[in-house]
Amino acid sequence: MTDDATAASTPVPAGAAAGGRRESVASVADSFREMQRTVRRSKARLLAAAGDDVESATQVLLHTVAAEGPMRASALAAIVQADLSTVSRQVAALVSRGLLERQADQCDGRASLLAVTGAGRAAIAEHEQGRQAFFDAVLADWDTAEMRQFARQLEQFTAAYDHVHTAWMSEKTGRPRTSAHNHPADLEEGPTA
């Protein structure tokens, strides 16, 4: 029998198991907090260096309109769970850059729909290519099995985090539960663990 098998078959006192779980949870919480700090520092460096590039908040809007199709600014704000006035300012910048365009709403002549332009699709593709290259460099020393396992675990963690955070915020605010599924900024929001 190996040492691992012996350890697995040896009973663990209840207090030790609880202490081990507490330590493990604390370790995950600390690692998550450090990841949040790292992401914030990275985002600050990116925004400082961005100049005229499309920054992450507007990338979220571009990706959303590209994925969902033409929509009103109010629908876009609801999907990304942002204030309409903030989204309107960001949309105006994207329209002036030629990345989004306003189209007449066939159902309501008084309203306009936002649609991604050819230049907007090119900006999305360039952003995705850069993102893939960045993560390829981050994961350079990982083998394929490690990356797949990490992706599964990260997906599981993210889903659990979103579920628990949504319930937690609902209790604190007394508002109904709404989830921020598919919002790219999820890991940067919420309480610092």
DSSP 71: B
Residues 6 or more apart whose Cβ sits within 8 Å of residue 68: 79
- Please enumerate in sequence order all residues whose Cβ is within 8 A of that of 71, keeping only pairs 6 or more positions apart, or say none: 65, 79, 113, 114
139/185 Cα distance (integer angstroms): 21
User: Strand, coil or helix: what is 10?
Assistant: coil
What is the 8-class DSSP label of residue 51?
A: T
Torsion (CA) 67, 134, 92, 51 in degrees, nearest 10: -170
**160-179 confidence digits (pLDDT tens):** 999 999 999 988 887 765 55
Could you read off the pLDDT of 81-132 as tens digits, one per residue?
889 998 999 999 999 999 999 998 888 767 899 999 999 999 999 989 999 9
Quote the CA–CA distance of 185 and 9 in Å, as a whole number: 43
Q: Kindly report the pTM of this predicted structure.
A: 0.65
